[in-house]
Amino acid sequence: MTPRPLDPEPEPFEDSIELAREGRHVEALQGVLGSLAGRPGPSRHRVAAANALGRVARLAEAAGDTATAGRALDEALRIAPRFVDLHYRRARVLAAAGRPADARTALEAALAINPRYLAARVEVALFDAREGRLAEALETLRGMAGEPSIDDPLLFRRGLESLEHADWDEAGEQLRRAFHIGDLAREEIVEPFHRLMAAGERERARHWIRVAVLEHEGWPDLHCLIGTLELEDGHVDDAICSLARALELHPRYHAARIQFARALEALGDVTQASEQVGYVLDEDPTNPQALQLQERWSRRGSRRRRAPGEASKAA
């Protein structure tokens, strides 16, 4: 079974982050910057400072203090220019400040580092739509239909429909909600997890998400992330338990159900796995991941049915 997570380490710069939670954003920023005095060059402390500045920026942005948010992000990017989520957050702040061209440049910087970065891809598609490239935007977004982070496909489809009707603001809100973009609490957990995974720090990512699920047991997406990790690591029984919990919390969580089907397949129960995929296709007939699994199983069944006749012919 999955071992119990270790107790979390103390949060770096927690005093400064607490100031930001209290609305004292400038003091929080100064506290983090002050800790960097006399620490030139790359170090673990400076990376932690960049992360803290990113959190200060999030809290300042959420409170409407875009000036301090922008300054915090500029300072964070000087320390960690390859942190893709910092470029994305800076783009959102620039867009809120009425600087769309600069915002798009920041999004492109994020995608140059990680072309698969979901939040930036969504925002670029929304920019494309507003700038008259609606067909291109819709094609990009439809290609994201199978992303694991979508746990409300109906809301995603409504976002596409709003985009088709040029209701830009409504489309943006629906699509961000479908992907949990802009959910501050989730972003503070999920983005560091993905950053650790992208850096190849799988054990730290696993520890991070297990601690998070202890604090937020009712969040189905965290159970899905753990279940997906367990499945990839070959711990199929644990994956089944984690994914089943995600579905218990959110029965229409299609990404979790598809992972659940894959776990059942790994156990050799293709019949039950196929039923799970069928539940997804009943609600979302165009779901690409579900269709891919269904087609693979169908091809496998066809090969098995052909085999006896081919053997007789050969005889």
pLDDT per residue over 237-277, tens digit each?
A: 999 999 999 999 888 888 889 999 999 999 999 999 999 99
Alpha-carbon distance of 25 to 16, in angstroms, equals 9
Q: Which domains does the chain have, with CATH numbers?
A: 191-303 (1.25.40.10)
Are 122 and 171 contacting, i.e. CB atoms less than 8 angstroms apart? no
pTM summary value: 0.61
Q: What pLDDT, on the 0 to 100 scale, is given for residue 116?
A: 82
pLDDT of residue 133: 94
Q: How far apart are CA 211 and CA 111, in angstroms?
A: 29
Convert 74-96 to b/e letters by CB count within 10 Å (16 or more is b). ebbbebbeebbbbbbbbbbbbbe
69-83, 206-220, 245-259, 290-304 — most confident range: 69-83
Is residue 9 scored above 70 in pLDDT?
no
286 has pLDDT over 90: no
| Chain centre distance of CA 160 | 19
- CA–CA separation, 78 and 160 (whole Å): 36
